[in-house]
Structure 1
C-alpha cells in the first residue's frame, strides 16, 4: 500500500494533500476566489477548500481525530494555508483548529505561534525588537489602570492603538498626555492599548509590502484621505503600486516576516526622515487588491513547495490512525 493509500484508508476516498482553510465570514470573498483559482491551476487534484464550520475535532483512544459534519473521518492535509478574520480570531475556536492540524502533522504556511504573535500588536513588536529590527518606541501594560499608565509617562505626541484593533479602528493621534487624560474614560477597556512614538514624517502614509516565502511579491505606498493619520484603504485611503522602488523597505519587510515565522505577511512600514524605515505592524491575514495579481499564485506556489518538501499525501486520519498525544503545539491564551 502506498503512503497516499495508507493515509486515506477509511477516510471516505482520496485525501486532499493541501487544504485552503477558510474562516467564518470569508466564504465567497474575492481573495478566497483568487486563491482557489490559483490552486486549480497549480495544485490540480491535490487541494480542497475547507471551511472552519465544517470540521469536528476530537481525541479517540489517545489519538487526535478529524471528522466532517456527517461523522466521516477526514485525513489531515500535509500542508494548509488558513484565511481567517483577525478581528474574529479566537483561541477557543480558530487557534484550537490550527493547533489540532499542526499536532496531526500538518505543515501550516503560517504556523499557529506566528498567527498568535500577529493578532496582538504588542506581541509582534516584542519579537521584532528582540530580533533587532526597528520598531517605534512603545509603552503598553497588562492590568494597570489606564490613568496610571498615562501618568507614568507615554511618548508625546503618541499614536494610540488597541492591541486587538483592525483596519485602522481604535487608532488615533494624541498630541500630549493631557489630551489622553481627557479622553481615557471614553476608551474601551476590553483590551490594553499601545502608545507609540509618532513618526511625523510618515503621517498619513506608509509602505505596505506583501511577503511570501521570503520574497517581497508586491509593494504599494498607501496614503490617507483628508489628512487622516491612518492610511488604511478600508478607511478611504489610496494606494500606488511601487515594486522595487524601496528595496531597503522590501528587505526589512522580508526580515520582519522571517523573524515572526510567517510564510505570508503584510508588513506596514513607516517612512523615517533619514530615508530609512520603521516597522509599524505585521499582518498575518493580509489583504490585497485585485490588481495585485502576483500574490495569490505566489501563495499557492509556496504551499506547493512545502508539499514537495514533505512528499505530499495526508498527515493523518481519524480514530486510531492519527499521531499520538499533542506535544510542542503552539501556545494558547
Structure 2
C-alpha cells in the first residue's frame, strides 16, 4: 500500500516560480508511488477542541508531511498529532531565525562570522548605547541582518557609525543581528544542498556589483565541486539543527576556508537544477521513502 502524504505550502504566495515548484514536488513524489495532496497552510486551521490538538478544515490525515512552509504553529500541531514532518518544526524554527541559528550552532566548533544579537526592543529604539559596544567589538564595515528574511533581502552593509545608528532606528523593534563583514567573500558564496548525511548538489554564486551573491539580487550561478572541508561543515550544521534536507550557504575565508553563512530549511530547488541539472527533489523523496520504510 502506498503512503499518503501532504505537501504543505503557503497559500499567500502566488508567484509562478513558487507554484511550479509545488507541482514539481508533486510529480516527483508520485514517481515514488507516494499518494500526495498539495494543501495550503491556510486551509488547515490550528485548533484546540475540548483541550485536544486538532485541525479545522480536514477530516482525513496523512502518513507524513513534506512541510514546505514556515507556519510553525501548524507544523507543531501536526507533530502533536503524531505526524512525521520533513523538515521537523524545530529544525524549521532554527533555520528561519538567523539569530537562533547562530546561537544554536555555537559551542560546536562551527566556523562562523563574529555575531552580536541585537537586544530586544519594544516599540521604538530610544537607547542606542549598545551600538558603541558593537562598533568596538566588530568594527566597520559590518553587516546587519534581519533575523527573518529570504533571497538576500533584509541584509545591509554598514560602513560608518552614522549609518549604523540610522539603520537600527529605522529597524525599530524588528529582530536583527550584527555580523563581521567577510571581505574575502565579497559578492560570492557557495550553496550546498544537503539531504540526509550527503551533499547532493552545489553551486557557486557570484556578483560583480553587490556584496550579496544571491541570484535574486543579480548573482550568477556556476556548478561547483565542494571541498571535503566544505561538505563536512554543511553536513555537520544540518545534523546539529536536525534538518532532513537543507540548503547550507558558506562564505570564503581569507585562506579559502569555509565559513557558515546560513542554513535554509525550505531552500528552493529550481536554481540549483538550472545550474547543475541535479534534481534534488528526487534525493529528497528517496530519503523520505527510506525513512518511512525504516519506521514501518
Band of TM-score, shorter chain: 0.7 to 0.9
Matches within 5 A, 1:67-82: 67-68=56-57, 73-75=59-61, 77-82=62-67
Q: CA–CA distance in 2 between the matches of 1:203 and 1:34?
A: 33
Q: 1:230 aligns with which of 212, 218, 225?
A: 212
Q: Distance in 2 between matches of 1:32 and 1:237?
A: 24
Q: In the alignment, which residue of structure 2 is the partner of 1:286?
A: 267
Q: Does 2:247 match 1:263?
A: no
Q: TM-score, normalised by structure 2?
A: 0.87
- Larger C-alpha radius of gyration, 1 or 2? 1
Cα deviation, 1:34-72, whole Å, max 9, x if unaligned, reads 21111110134x33222222224444455433453xxx6
Is 1:210 matched up with 2:210? no
Q: What are the residue-to-residue correspondences of 1:43-192 with 2, within 5 Å?
A: 43-44=33-34, 46-68=35-57, 73-75=59-61, 77-84=62-69, 89=70, 94-143=71-120, 145=125, 147-154=128-135, 155-156=138-139, 157-185=141-169, 187-192=170-175
After TM superposition, the structure 1 stretch with the greater mean CA deviation from structure 2, 206-215 or 246-255, is 246-255
> Structure 2, unaligned stretches of length 5 or more?
none
Counterpart position of 2:9: 22
Give the C-alpha shift of residue 182 in structure 1: 4.9
Residue 281 of structure 2 is aligned to residue 296 of structure 1:
yes
Q: Which has the higher helix share?
A: 2
CA–CA separation in structure 2 for the residues paired with 1:233 and 1:64? 40
Aligned residue pairs, count: 282
SS at match of 2:203: strand
- 1:276 is the counterpart of 2:257: yes
Gaps of 5+ in 1: 5-14, 312-333
Q: Hey, what's the Cα distance between the residues in 2 that align with 1:245 and 1:278?
A: 13
For residues 91-122 of structure 1, what are the alpha-carbon distances to aligned partners after superposition, in whole Å with 9 as ceiling and x for unaligned? xxx21111111011111121111111111111
Question: Structure 1 residue 232: deviation in Å?
Answer: 0.8
How much is the aligned-residue C-alpha RMSD, in angstroms?
2.2
> For residues 167 and 3 of structure 2, what CA distance do their matches in structure 1 show?
53
CA distance in 1, matches of 2:21, 2:95: 20
1:263-298 CA-to-partner distances (Å, cap 9, x unmatched) read 111111010122211101111110122424321111
Give every structure 1 segment of 4 or more consecutive aligned residues whose post-TM-superposition deviation is greater than 6 Å: none
Secondary structure of the residue aligned to 2:237 is helix
